[in-house]
Amino acid sequence: MPTGVALRDVRHQLFDAAERVLLRDGPSALTSRAVTTEAGCAKGVLHRHFTDFDAFLADLVLDRIARIDDRAAALRDSAGTGTVADNLTQALMGLFDTVAVAVVSLVTSRDCLRARLREVRPTGVPVLTDAATAIAAYLDVERELGRIGADADVDTLAPALIGAVHMLFADRQSAPPPAGGVRKVVTAVMAGAAQQPPR
């Protein structure tokens, strides 16, 4: 098997194991031993592919952030269809799946990880910042289409939506909020930006 394929397989095996530990036991339980035990491999395997555990965690976070790009593209493609509130509700519920919420908890709980991530992503909290960028890009298209007000400040609306909806999802022990609850928040945040029908 070519080395590149083997490395990718090992990385994904370790990332998936780390994700399971993170979701089941929380960020404080995420250690190199917990990850390799969960993955069913020797502890040395992780250190053979990553310089240290913080490097592993940084790559895990970046790998999980890459998933947002696909969702961002799908959200942009939905512009002009359905309703803005429904599109945002669906996108935000997808963005704040249990993995994303757990990754945010991981990043905020580890100073060394945040420092490592700042080397490649100098601003914001990973996942939250990426989600806000995706929402702003979508809202920008909707503004161009005239479905939200021409004066809507999408760069303020996007992080306001992310912050408000993240609060609904932040407790990883509880069930995710229902779509109706998320839509209520979306509608409230977007109320000032809603395009008024012509008279």
If you average pLDDT over residues 186-197, what whole number do you get? 80
pLDDT tens digit string along 55-64?
999 999 988 8
pLDDT tens digit string along 103-153?
888 988 898 888 888 888 767 787 888 889 999 999 999 999 999 999 999
Task: Say whether 64-193 and 1-49 share the same fold.
Answer: no
Q: What are phi and psi of 101, to 5 degrees?
A: -65, -40
Question: pTM to 2 decimals?
Answer: 0.80
For residue 3, is pLDDT > 60?
Answer: no
Nearest 10 degrees: Cα torsion 125, 126, 127, 130: 90
Share of the chain above pLDDT 70, in %: 91
- 1-49 classified as CATH 1.10.760.10: no
Distance CA 179, CA 186 (A): 10
Average per-residue pLDDT in the chain?
86
Residues 6+ apart with CB under 8 A from 170: 101
The architecture of the domain spanning 64-193 is Orthogonal Bundle (1.10)
pLDDT at 4: 41
Domain range summary for the chain, segments of one domain joined by +: 1-49, 64-193
